[in-house]
Amino acid sequence: MGVRLVVQRVKQARVTVGGELVGSIGTGLLIFVGVAKADTPQDADYLAAKLVDLRVFEDPQGRMNLPALEAGGAFLVVSQFTLLANCDKGRRPSFDAAADPVKGEELYEYFVSQLKKHNIAVSTGRFRAMMEVNLINDGPVTFVIDSRP
């Protein structure tokens, strides 16, 4: 399966935990990250490189042709193991494919560190916390990206 991302282009986004603001951005990408059991740093490397160059912001002609950095954007990265849910059977999702919390946090933090190497502002949520995510979608423009098919 690989690391799974849900990426939303936003005008602004913020994450609070227990009423405390822990991360926020203006224009940019809100990136939800789900880590699977078999994921590796190479999966995170691949996705970080893809996101930095993903041309989803409008150029002066109104075409999606600019990456976040060129558009003056930032990244807000939020862990979300539920992206790995399997809802094929029954009524309760199975999270068997999701990495255990230790591995999930390790790879999530590694992914964030790889994004930061590209000189773009990166903000985060708080791993394993009950978070409230508020956003203003821009478009809406939303993508699901997996590190492996």
Could you list the active site residues?
A: 80-82
The DSSP letter of residue 142 is: E
Q: Among residues 113, 148, 114, which one has the least CA distance to residue 39?
A: 148
Q: Could you please report the per-residue DSSP string of 96-121?
A: TTBPPHHHHHHHHHHHHHHHHTTT--
Helix ranges (H only) for the chain are 41-53, 101-116
Taking the C-alpha atoms of residue 71 and residue 69, their distance in angstroms, rounded to an integer, is: 5
Max Cα distance, the chain (Å) = 48
